[in-house]
Amino acid sequence: MRVEAAITLVSAALAGVFIYYSKPISRKLVTWMNGRAAVSATNRGPVIAIVENASGSAVIHRLTDQSDITYRARAQSPIYHLDQILLARASAADLSFPSGYRLRLLPGTEATIQSYRPNEAGSPVLITLSSGDFQILARGTEGLLYIAMNNQIFAPEFRPKSAPATPPLASMTLTAPTRASAQPSVAVSAAATAPSSAPDKLLVGGRETLSNEYIEKVIRTHAAAFQHCQMNSIRDNLASEGSLLFNMTISPAGQVAHLHILQDMLNNKELLECTRSVLERLQFESFNGDPMTINYPIDYK
The tens digit of pLDDT for each residue in 91-149 reads: 999 999 999 999 999 999 999 898 877 778 888 898 988 889 999 999 999 888 988 88
Contact, 297 vs 217, CB < 8 A?
no
Percentage of the chain modeled with pLDDT above 70: 71
What is the model's pLDDT at position 153? 75
Beta bridge partners of residue 87, listed in sequence order: 58
Say how far apart CA 199 and CA 206 lie, in whole Å: 16
Say how far apart CA 64 and CA 81 lie, in whole Å: 11
Q: Is the pLDDT of residue 182 over 70?
A: no
Contact, 173 vs 220, CB < 8 A?
no
The beta strands (E) that lie in 161-288 are given as 172-175, 185-187, 201-204, 207-210, 242-250, 256-264
Say how far apart CA 98 and CA 40 lie, in whole Å: 20
Q: What angle do CA 32, 50, 106 make, to 5 degrees?
A: 95
Q: Give mean pLDDT, residues 61-80.
A: 83
Radius of gyration of the chain (CA): 24
Q: Which residues lie closer than 8 Å to 84 by C-beta, 6 or more apart?
A: 60, 61, 62, 110, 111, 112, 113, 262
Q: Give mean pLDDT, residues 186-202.
A: 50
Q: Is the pLDDT of residue 185 over 90?
A: no
Closest by alpha carbon to 97, among 169, 33, 147? 147
Q: Is the pLDDT of residue 12 over 60?
A: no
Helices (H) and strands (E) in the chain, counts: 5, 19
Contact, 137 vs 151, CB < 8 A?
no
Closest by alpha carbon to 201, among 193, 219, 213? 213
How, if at all, do strands 172-175 and 292-300 pair? parallel
Tell me the three state secondary structure of residue 112.
strand
What is the model's pLDDT at position 241? 87
Contact, 91 vs 57, CB < 8 A?
yes
Tell me the whole-structure pTM to 2 decimals. Answer: 0.47
Contact, 82 vs 113, CB < 8 A?
yes
Q: Taking all residues of the chain, what is their mean pLDDT, rounded to a whole number?
A: 75
Helices (H), 109-221: 190-193, 212-220
